[in-house]
Structures are given as structure tokens and as C-alpha cells.
């Protein structure tokens, strides 16, 4: 793709990077076949190729974003399926980040849009406040159909179970039960503490049982994915610095072999800290170090190896449909480890049709774009049900909530099944 940035524009490192990314696109259109919004809407401007053109025109002109450009970029799920498909290696994720930052800096959104986005940025990273908000929303949930689209979607999401605060999420050190093999830090997460508290507990049990000491570091906060996807790079960088400081302090006080994350949306962001802070001289090296240490829980367990497998009889009869979260399979390129671990544990894994397509959760997407998210959720539910599986396993809390709402199938985290298979309790999600 030809670009026409001026010499003055090219002095901006962000524009220079965008220029390099844009020039890799060869207009082949392979991305359109795997883009959930293009498959759903059939509009070229709602495909990666179309959005690349819109970003190019917006950045080259250096003018405020238009309503049309904002609409089509907002509809992108950031699922990154296009990056898996692209034969030219176009770094669509970072190009989209540049586009969203430009929108944030130049476009005045309608008041209701600004209010909702501001609310989500303030509320979701605060587990205590989010927990109270969900409990309150459950009262209004029976009347969700009476409210306008986005508010109705938020009330429907309140159907998710609300977990009480767990003592495992407080800053502390969880010592290994067997002979210590590794020492890791773990991200506790934000929304996951509220709607999937069992996940962190299962993760810590599994790791301790396998000789891994787990550090919950003082000073951690949201990973920054929420604000990053809304174009607020400054807020995302602030969160990154807080987490980097917390983890490197833990590393200085006893060493760290890895930083383990059990919510793949967060993992994709933390693995990208090196890029997010690459132009900050005081933090670039530290950010790169943290990114290099970060692994998904499935990657770590492949390295550690499952031990003392004793799959309960009930578990051996269950058919498991594994849902590959986009942030894991496309964002982190982690494809086989979760399925390999589940098979090693003795679970019968069913293949899922259209496994590359997003379920429609995508962080806050199902709240900001509920109509498209509902269509994708229903499509994913149909593919999961078609497997004939009894339960769904996934590695990202947003996917779990979305799939549960649309499929009616029990949905549990992959790590909960691995914990169960190696001596842990039966996942509570099997009863929901």
C-alpha cells in the first residue's frame, strides 16, 4: 500500500510505525473471510482491509476523525483473526491502536457514548465497585427489555454469577505444596475476581500442587487492556507501569521464573507492554523484561507438566468443547497447549466449527456493540451445541460469560478442569 505522510509527520514515532505497517498491506483480502464483522455485516468498511484504508486516510490527513470512521473502527472486535490469516504480516493490532488514539484525541463522541465509556473505564477495574454494581443490576434485570440497547445489554450481563471476595487475591505468597520447581507472579485480574472468582483459586491450587510458588504482588491493578482498546493510551501506560513496578519488586525480593496470567485478554496486553512503553526511556527496558516473563497458564503448565492425574469417573464421561479465545489463539498464538493439557488429563475434547470466529465478548464489546455481539454469540453457541458436548472450556472470562449467556451450556475455565483432574474440587460452574 502506498502512503503519503509528510516529512514532518514521519518525525512522530507513532506515525512512522503506522506507515511501516500500512506499507505491508497488499490488498489481498484474505482477512475478509475470517473477520467476524465482515462475515456478519458484509460491509467492506467493516473488514480489516476497509478499516486499514480508513485509518490511512485519517492519519495521512491529520484531521479529526469523522463519524463514519469512528463507527467502523468501533465495530472492530480486536479479535485479531485477520493477523492469523494475513500472508503479509500486517500488524493490524498496533495500527488499530494508532487509529483509536487519534479518535480519542480528535473526535467528540455523543454525550451518552462518553458517559458509558467513562463509566466502564472507571467501574470495571475496581472489583469491589463492580461487584456492588452487578448485585444492584440484578434487581433491574427482569425489566431489561424495557431499557434502550446498551443499557439493556448491561442488565442482561448481570445474569452472571457474582463471586464474593476471595482471600487468595490479597497480596501474599502462596507456597508450593510439593518440592518447589518455580516461583511465579500471578495477575489477579479485575472483572474475573467478580464473575469468576473460582478461576484464581483453581489456578493457585493447581500451581501449588505442581511445585510452583505463587506471588500475588502488592500494587497490581488493571492490566490496561480496557483503556487501551478505548484509545486511552495514557491510562493504559499508567496501569502498565504500576504492574511492572509490582512484579519487578517481587522479582527483586525472591526471584521470578514467570508472570502467569489466566485471562487471555489480559495476557495479550501484558505481553505487549514492551511495545506500549517502547518510547519511554525510563520504562522501556523494564516493560520488555516483564513482557518476556509473561505466559498464559496453559503455556506454564505445558512446561511444568501435569502430575498425579486422577480424573474422576464423572469427568471421564463428559464431552468437552474447547472454545479458543481470540486473544489466546490470535493475539498470543497459543493454540495447542490448552487442548493438549485437557487431553492429557483424560477429557474427551470435541472439535468446534468456525473456531476462529469471535464469540462477540471482546472485552467491553458486548456492552458497546450489543447487536453485533448478540449475533456472534448466537453463532458461537450454535457451533458449540453442534458438537454435542456436555460442557465448554475456555481460557478467558469474557468469553465464558458471553457463551454462558447465549448457549445455556455449563462453561468453565480450562484451569478448573485441570485442577479437578489432579485432585481439586469439582468446578462449581458445572452446576450453572
Percent of the chain with pLDDT over 90: 88
User: For 49-73, how does the pLDDT look when each residue is reduced to its tens digit (9 = 90+)?
Assistant: 999 999 999 999 998 999 999 999 9
What are the structural domains of the chain? Answer: 9-106 (1.10.1060.10), 167-301 (3.40.50), 303-431 (3.40.50.1860)
The mean pLDDT value for 61-89 works out to: 96
User: For 139-171, how does the pLDDT look when each residue is reduced to its tens digit (9 = 90+)?
Assistant: 766 666 656 667 666 666 666 678 899 999 999
- What pTM did the predictor assign? 0.93
Q: What is the mean pLDDT of the chain?
A: 94
**What pLDDT, on a 0 to 100 scale, did the predictor assign at position 155?**
67
The mean pLDDT value for 323-329 works out to: 97
At residue 137, does pLDDT exceed 90? no
Dihedral sign, Cα of residue 119, residue 124, residue 130, residue 134: positive
Dihedral sign, Cα of residue 336, residue 341, residue 346, residue 350: negative
Q: Give me the torsion for CA of 24, 26, 27, 31, rounded to 10°.
A: -60
Residues 319, 379: Cα–Cα separation, whole Å: 20
Helices of type H across 271-386: 273-276, 284-293, 297-304, 313-316, 326, 336-345, 365-368, 370-386
- Tell me the three cell numbers of residue 88: 503479509
DSSP per residue, 238-289: HHHHHHHHHHHHHHHTT--SEEEESSHHHHHHHTTHHHHTTT-TTTHHHHHH
**What pLDDT, on a 0 to 100 scale, did the predictor assign at position 140?**
67
User: For 270-322, how does the pLDDT look when each residue is reduced to its tens digit (9 = 90+)?
Assistant: 999 999 999 999 999 999 999 999 999 999 999 999 999 999 999 999 999 99
User: For 167-225, how does the pLDDT look when each residue is reduced to its tens digit (9 = 90+)?
Assistant: 999 999 999 998 999 999 999 999 999 999 999 999 999 999 999 999 999 999 999 99
Amino acid at each position: 500500500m502506498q502512503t503519503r505522510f509528510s516529512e514532518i509527520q514521519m518525525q512522530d514515532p507513532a506515525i512512522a510505525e503506522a506507515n511501516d505497517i500500512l506499507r505491508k498491506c497488499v490488498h489481498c483480502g484474505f482477512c475478509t473471510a475470517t473477520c467476524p464483522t465482515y462475515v456478519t455485516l458484509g460491509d467492506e468498511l467493516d473488514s480489516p482491509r476497509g478499516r486499514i484504508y480508513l485509518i490511512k486516510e485519517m492519519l495521512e490527513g491529520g484531521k479529526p476523525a469523522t463519524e463514519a470512521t469512528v463507527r467502523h473502527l468501533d465495530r472492530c472486535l480486536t479479535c485479531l483473526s485477520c493477523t492469523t490469516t494475513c500472508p503479509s504480516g500486517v500488524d493490524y493490532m498496533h495500527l488499530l491502536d494508532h487509529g483509536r488514539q487519534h479518535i480519542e484525541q480528535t473526535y467528540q463522541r455523543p454525550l451518552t457514548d462518553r458517559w458509558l465509556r467513562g463509566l466502564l473505564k472507571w467501574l470495571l477495574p475496581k472489583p469491589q465497585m463492580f461487584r456492588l454494581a452487578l448485585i444492584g443490576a440484578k434487581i433491574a434485570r427482569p425489566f431489561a427489555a424495557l431499557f434502550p440497547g446498551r443499557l439493556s445489554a448491561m442488565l442482561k450481563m448481570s445474569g452472571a454469577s457474582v463471586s464474593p471476595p476471595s482471600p487468595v487475591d490479597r497480596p501474599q505468597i502462596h507456597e508450593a505444596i510439593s518440592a518447589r520447581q518455580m516461583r511465579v507472579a500471578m495477575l489477579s485480574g479485575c472483572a474475573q475476581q467478580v464473575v469468576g472468582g473460582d478461576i484464581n483459586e483453581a489456578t493457585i491450587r493447581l500451581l501449588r500442587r505442581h511445585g510452583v510458588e505463587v506471588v500475588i504482588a502488592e500494587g497490581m491493578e488493571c492490566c490496561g487492556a480496557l483503556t487501551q482498546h478505548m484509545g486511552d493510551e495514557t491510562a493504559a501506560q499508567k496501569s502498565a507501569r504500576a504492574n511492572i513496578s509490582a512484579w519487578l519488586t517481587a522479582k527483586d525480593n525472591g526471584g521470578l521464573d514467570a508472570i502467569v496470567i489466566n485471562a487471555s485478554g489480559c495476557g495479550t496486553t501484558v505481553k505487549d507492554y514492551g511495545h506500549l512503553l517502547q518510547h519511554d526511556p525510563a520504562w522501556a527496558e523494564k516493560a520488555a523484561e516483564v513482557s518476556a516473563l509473561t505466559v498464559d497458564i496453559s503455556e506454564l503448565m505445558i512446561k511444568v507438566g501435569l502430575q498425579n492425574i486422577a480424573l474422576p469417573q464423572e469427568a471421564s464421561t463428559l464431552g468437552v468443547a474447547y472454545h479458543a479465545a481470540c486473544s489466546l489463539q490470535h493475539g498470543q498464538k497459543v493454540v495447542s497447549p490448552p487442548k493438549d493439557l485437557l487431553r492429557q488429563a483424560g477429557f474427551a475434547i470435541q472439535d468446534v466449527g468456525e473456531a476462529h470466529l469471535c464469540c462477540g465478548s471482546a472485552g467491553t464489546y458486548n456492552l458497546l456493540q450489543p447487536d453485533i455481539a448478540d449475533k456472534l454469540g448466537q453463532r458461537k453457541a450454535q457451533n458449540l451445541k453442534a458438537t454435542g458436548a456436555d460442557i465448554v472450556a475456555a481460557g478467558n472470562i469474557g468469553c465464558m460469560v458471553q457463551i454462558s449467556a447465549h448457549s445455556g451450556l455449563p462453561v468453565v475455565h480450562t484451569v478448573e478442569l485441570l485442577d479437578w483432574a489432579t485432585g481439586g474440587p469439582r468446578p462449581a460452574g458445572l452446576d450453572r
